[in-house]
Structure 1
């Protein structure tokens, strides 16, 4: 399984906004049950598609500035950033198939 690295308010710009490929940021918190449900799904997707999209996690309790800047009101929130902009926002837990579908334009999943 992939070990998705953490990103902080301090390195968000360098790690996410200035990345040359799309970056999915998982905004989460330790106390969030749905966040814990989504985490292993994201690990699986990252291990399969990490060459096309970068995956990082941000703990909203430890890093309040970035979630506030991007108006993250509920968690889990999965924002995909590309060229410094939010290009997709997924709020709430989803099964793997739904996440793959939402991310298909970034991971080039072959549709039947």
Structure 2
């Protein structure tokens, strides 16, 4: 695969993960393949392992959505008490693609 990406933390005022922007701007096929190789529902750790953003950044998207402009549908609703946070891959992909417009 390509070079390993280092996750970034958006807590310091950046509003969009620069690593995601670079991926999407570089080539549409590369961006599509990165998202298409991921599961439909992603844990914060899976997103961090892919080098897209840090786990703390993903929780910021969840609990401070207005600050980052995170879509309402980005997170899968918790179905049971104690269930883990899950991010919808298709909504994440749409959100990232919208940054280029």
Q: Which structure ranks higher in relative contact order (CA pairs < 8 Å, sequence separation ≥ 6)?
A: 1
Q: Which has the higher helix share?
A: 2
TM category (shorter chain) comes to 0.3 to 0.5
Please report the TM-score for the alignment, with normalisation by the length of structure 1.
Answer: 0.32
